[in-house]
């Protein structure tokens, strides 16, 4: 297979090789097919693309810059580290890219309510923001554990006018929030739109969210080329469901010389049950209407997962990542909670940038990798979000 075979996926049935699809009841399949058709038609329209491009520029503040982390690179004594600053977007993370896309799509489709789950709260805040802007009611389901951990985001969602639904079942984290939000959506799928928070779920969501996020890599590739006259040697991003990573990777898939690295959460260690390294230790299975790598028990039930970063603790992963792993185009590696905390504090103190705990996983990989390479090597990291939401938690945990 040639590398360029990666670009046109998924196929019409929503498959990336053997991953993805629509593993859902027939009634729901009809609804998903309608969304898929509407999406293909609406995204081809100039008025949709112009409105989205205008909002990306004037509302989100795109293009986000690339920052050369010189002091961090010098301190590590190896490769040059560059950060794609998605943390500077309005609402503080990459999530606003697909939330604006989904909210606009809901408006163009005449939907009456947008429903979603959230883990760290970034997707919830971004969606509540986009819905406020577009003028559509918004309902966010969030695990009780995450509600307590991510309090500032909870407050913001309420201020933005979203209805917040606490989820107490199961482990009261992201997977349970997805289940709960999906149940609400099924009550009236014709009038509601489920705005999924990552490149997961049944077709067309992995494709739609990827398309909206692909702006990250398109910009980054052009910016890097313009500034350095060449492409980076390695491009890395953290992987929860996989939206910021696929957004970054898509533009580079055909660049054979560019190594792509997805960083999964190793939590308290891969030899403990307290991790969320789906692609590293999981196996092909099914979850939330898609075929993908899954961390599951012998009976096929999703395992409880853990990461210090709420937005990364998900037992499934995007089908396109599952495909890219199997085809060897992206290397998936891990970083532990402790490495992530170290990266969080180091980036804050050496560059004055407080990263989200999710993004700190990618920074941790860069900190581990840079010293093994020469100064002519360039690592481009997607800094998917800012860490204000995590500041109190980290300060308490490290007794600062």
Q: Measure the CA–CA gap between 298 and 236, rounded to whole angstroms.
A: 32
Q: Measure the CA–CA gap between 248 and 117, rounded to whole angstroms.
A: 23
User: Cβ of residue 45: shortest distance to ligand PLP, in angstroms?
Assistant: 26
Q: Measure the CA–CA gap between 95 and 80, rounded to whole angstroms.
A: 27
Among 202, 311, 315, 319, binds ligand PLP (CB under 6 A): 311
Of 17-25, 49-57, 114-122, 181-189, the window that binds ligand PLP (rule: CB under 6 A) is 114-122
Task: Return the structure tokens found at 340.
Answer: 């992530």
Is position 74 annotated as part of the catalytic site?
no
Evaluated on CA atoms 339, 353, 149, 241, the torsion sign reads: negative
Site for ligand PLP in 349-368 (CB under 6 A): 356, 358-359
Task: Return the structure tokens found at 1.
Answer: 């297979």
Residue 14: which region, alpha, beta or left (left: phi > 0; alpha: psi -120 to 50)?
left
Query: What mask, x for binding ligand PLP by CB under 6 A, covers residues 290 to 309?
Result: --------------------
Task: Return the structure tokens found at 376.
Answer: 């002519």
The catalytic residue among 117, 150, 219, 264 is 117
For residue 82, the surrounding DSSP H or E stretch is strand 80-85
Is position 243 annotated as part of the catalytic site?
no
Nearer to ligand PLP by C-beta: 213 or 346? Answer: 213
Nearer to ligand PLP by C-beta: 14 or 240? Answer: 240
Q: Measure the CA–CA gap between 287 and 201, rounded to whole angstroms.
A: 8
Q: Measure the CA–CA gap between 58 and 159, rounded to whole angstroms.
A: 22
User: Cβ of residue 169: shortest distance to ligand PLP, in angstroms?
Assistant: 20
Query: What mask, x for binding ligand PLP by CB under 6 A, covers residues 116 to 145?
Result: ---xx-xx----------------------
Nearer to ligand PLP by C-beta: 78 or 206? Answer: 206
Among 21, 217, 315, 385, binds ligand PLP (CB under 6 A): 385
Among 157, 181, 196, 239, binds ligand PLP (CB under 6 A): 239
Q: Which of 153, 124, 151, 120 is nearest to 138 (CA)?
A: 124
Nearer to ligand PLP by C-beta: 106 or 237? Answer: 237
Is position 326 annotated as part of the catalytic site?
no
The catalytic residue among 95, 107, 156, 175 is 95
User: Cβ of residue 103: shortest distance to ligand PLP, in angstroms?
Assistant: 17
Among 280, 322, 336, 384, binds ligand PLP (CB under 6 A): 384
Q: Measure the CA–CA gap between 283 and 281, rounded to whole angstroms.
A: 7
Among 69, 134, 308, 312, binds ligand PLP (CB under 6 A): 312
Beta-bridged to residue 262, according to DSSP, are 237, 332
Beta-bridged to residue 143, according to DSSP, are 167
User: Cβ of residue 110: shortest distance to ligand PLP, in angstroms?
Assistant: 27
CB of 154 within 8 A of CB of 122?
A: no
Task: Return the structure tokens found at 204.
Answer: 């067309």
Please name the residues in contact with 400: beta carbons below 8 A apart, sequence gap of 6 or more.
Answer: 394
Note whether 91 binds ligand PLP by CB under 6 A.
no
Nearer to ligand PLP by C-beta: 74 or 388? Answer: 388
User: Cβ of residue 93: shortest distance to ligand PLP, in angstroms?
Assistant: 4
CA distances from 225 to 145, 218, 235, 309, 326 (A): 43, 11, 13, 32, 29
Task: List the catalytic residues.
Answer: 95, 117, 384
Write out the residues near ligand PLP by the rule CB under 6 A: 93, 119-120, 122-123, 198, 238-245, 311-312, 356, 358-359, 384-385
């Amino acid at each position: 297979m040639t590398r360029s075979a990666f670009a046109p996926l998924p196929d019409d049935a929503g498959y990336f090789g053997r991953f993805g699809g629509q593993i859902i009841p027939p009634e729901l399949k009809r609804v998903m097919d309608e969304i898929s058709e509407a999406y293909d038609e609406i995204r081809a329209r100039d008025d949709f693309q112009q409105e989205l491009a205008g909002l990306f520029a004037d509302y989100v503040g795109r293009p986000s810059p690339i920052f050369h982390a010189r002091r961090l690179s010098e301190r590590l004594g190896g490769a040059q580290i560059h950060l794609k600053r998605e943390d500077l977007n309005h609402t503080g993370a990459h999530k606003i890219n697909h939330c604006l896309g989904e909210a606009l799509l809901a408006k163009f489709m005449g939907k009456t309510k947008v429903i979603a789950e959230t883990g760290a709260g970034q997707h919830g805040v971004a969606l509540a923001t986009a819905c406020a802007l577009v003028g559509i009611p918004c309902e966010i389901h969030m695990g009780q554990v995450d509600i307590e951990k991510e309090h500032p985001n909870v407050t913001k969602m309420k201020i933005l006018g979203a209805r917040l639904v606490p989820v107490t079942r199961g482990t009261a984290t992201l997977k349970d929030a997805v289940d709960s939000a999906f149940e609400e959506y099924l009550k009236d799928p014709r009038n509601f739109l489920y705005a999924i928070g990552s490149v997961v779920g049944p077709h067309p969501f992995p494709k739609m969210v990827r398309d909206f996020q692909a702006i990250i890599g398109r910009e980054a590739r052009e910016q890097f080329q313009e500034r350095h006259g060449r492409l980076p040697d390695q491009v890395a991003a953290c992987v929860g469901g996989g939206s910021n990573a696929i957004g970054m990777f898509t533009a580079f898939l055909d660049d054979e010389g560019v190594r792509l690295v997805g960083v999964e959460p190793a939590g308290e260690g891969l030899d403990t049950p307290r991790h969320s390294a789906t692609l590293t230790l999981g196996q092909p299975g099914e979850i939330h209407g898609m075929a993908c790598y899954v961390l599951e028990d012998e009976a096929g039930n999703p395992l409880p997962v853990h990461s210090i970063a709420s937005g990364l603790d998900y037992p499934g992963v995007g089908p396109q990542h599952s495909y890219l792993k199997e085809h060897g185009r992206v290397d998936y590696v891990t970083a532990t909670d402790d490495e992530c905390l170290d990266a969080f504090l180091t980036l804050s103190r050496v560059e004055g940038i407080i990263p989200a705990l999710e993004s700190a996983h990618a920074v941790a990989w860069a900190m581990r990798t840079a010293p093994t390479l020469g100064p002519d090597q360039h690592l481009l990291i997607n800094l998917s979000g800012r860490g204000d939401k995590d500041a109190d938690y980290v300060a308490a945990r490290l007794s600062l």
